[in-house]
Amino acid sequence: MITYRADVTVQLKLVVESVSAASARETARRQALRLGGHSATVSDVQVTPFSAVEQMHVDNLSWWQEAEAVKTKGLEDQRARWNAGRLPEYELLELARPELFSSFRMLIRRQKMVFATIDHPKDAQGILTCLKGPVDWERLTQRASDLVTWSTSPHPALSVTEQRTLHYIETTASELATHAWLARSTDAITVQSREHRGVCKMCQRTATERSALVQVRWAGRTLSREYLL
């Protein structure tokens, strides 16, 4: 994995990791459009690999951040395995995630919407009229993907309550940026409001959820959790 600095024509300076310059340009373009919303346009993206000194700084920061997580939250055997380079990734992230997202613990984590999230019409026997014929419940998950059109869009219109929740999340994220593990990095945390929509292809009924995606850049990784607004 190579680290690139991306300069985008909308004058957003991003840091992306990718396997090639072409892939880094496309990743930077997507990030810029997400940050700028639907009205943003990107006409060109130029990327430059980090210098050896810059890459060394990134690697040293990642090592230090991992070391802090293991030192302050890990068990003795986890510290020993990390020092030997044998601590599994999932165990390391199990130490980091609860700490980095602890400030958001009072919020409701968003769960993926499913077919049953939509209020489908029912017949007199209480059976969903969208499902014609016998239902193979073991394969309902696979069938549901064909029955519903799912979409996600950024920056939706919000109710007063949703806006207050988003403001709380953004304020909490700003405070989290001062966490010792994040080395006071100004771009370590991003918050994006999103709307998830599911439309049943049979009955056309719709279910929507608005949420905030919180992403934390830590030790060369992007950790994310999504909360309902």
State residue 141's pLDDT score. 54
State residue 38's pLDDT score. 47
Which amino acid, one-letter code, is at 141? T
Tokens 């999103």 correspond to 194
List the structure tokens of 100: 């980095």
CB neighbours of 228 closer than 8 A, spacing ≥ 6?
Answer: 107, 108, 109, 110, 165, 209, 210, 211
Euclidean distance between CA atoms 106 and 73, whole angstroms = 21
Q: What is the distance of C-alpha 23 from the center of its chain? A: 19
State residue 219's pLDDT score. 85
In angstroms, what CA-CA distances link 53 with 6, 14, 16, 48, 49?
Answer: 17, 18, 17, 14, 11
For the chain, give every domain's residue range: 1-50, 53-92, 104-228
pTM exceeds 0.75 for this model: no
State residue 133's pLDDT score. 58
- Report which of 105, 114, 107, 191 is spatially closest to residue 154, judged by C-alpha positions: 191
State residue 36's pLDDT score. 53
- Residues (pLDDT < 50) of the chain are 38-39
State residue 167's pLDDT score. 95
